Amino acid sequence: MEFLDLIRKPWPWYVAGPLIGLTVPTLLLIGNKSFGISSSLRHICAACIPARIPFFSYNWKKEIWNLIFVLGTLVGGFLATTYLKNPDAFQLAAATKADLSALGIRDFSGLMPADLFAAENLFTLKGLIFLVFGGFLVGFGTRWAGGCTSGHSIMGISNLQWPSLVATCCFMIGGFAMTHLFLPFILKLV
């Protein structure tokens, strides 16, 4: 098997899971760093906003590694979607397709349904609800929980932090509620 074929295909959980899990001890051993993406937005704001807002008044340069990590994630995502795209069609369970089709979602060609997240939906009521209001809720929840799902679920739980377990359970409950209670209602509105 060629190297490019190996990295183009989805990796099985028993390979990808331990690799993700190994980031925790690696970061702790390298320099007592904790993994999480949401804190990088705070570092970017602290670097770019000249106002004397107390929340952004700290030595963000100490956390430059986190900004480099996020930059690497963006560059890696671009390279992967541009040059390493999986040649196989995206796999989605037939039952999930049927449930989403009943809600009016018909395009399953990408990772996100184009019926909801296409560029032409950006300035519509649907775009306002899903992208703007949804983005606000994600940002608010991340700030309120003191971190994002990657920080709490990967780093916090592996360090046996009780607040991370509670936050992860709340993330999951919120996702289930959105999927089964709110999404059908919202899709009927728009």
pLDDT in tens, 136-170: 888 888 888 888 887 888 888 888 889 989 999 99
CB 113 within 8 A of CB 105: yes
Per-residue pLDDT tens for 80-104? Answer: 888 887 777 777 888 988 988 888 8
Mean pLDDT of 26-37: 81
Distance, in Å, from the CA atom of 87 to the CA atom of 104, rounded to the nearest integer, reads 27
Instruction: Check pLDDT > 90 for residue 14.
Output: yes
pLDDT at 1 exceeding the cut of 70: no
- Binning pLDDT at 50, 70 and 90, where does residue 177 land? very high
Structural domain boundaries of the chain? Answer: 1-88, 122-190
| Number of other CB atoms surrounding residue 32 within 10 Å | 7
Report the predicted TM-score, pTM, of the whole model to 2 decimal places. 0.71
* CB-based contacts of 90, cutoff 8 Å, min separation 6: 108, 109, 110, 111
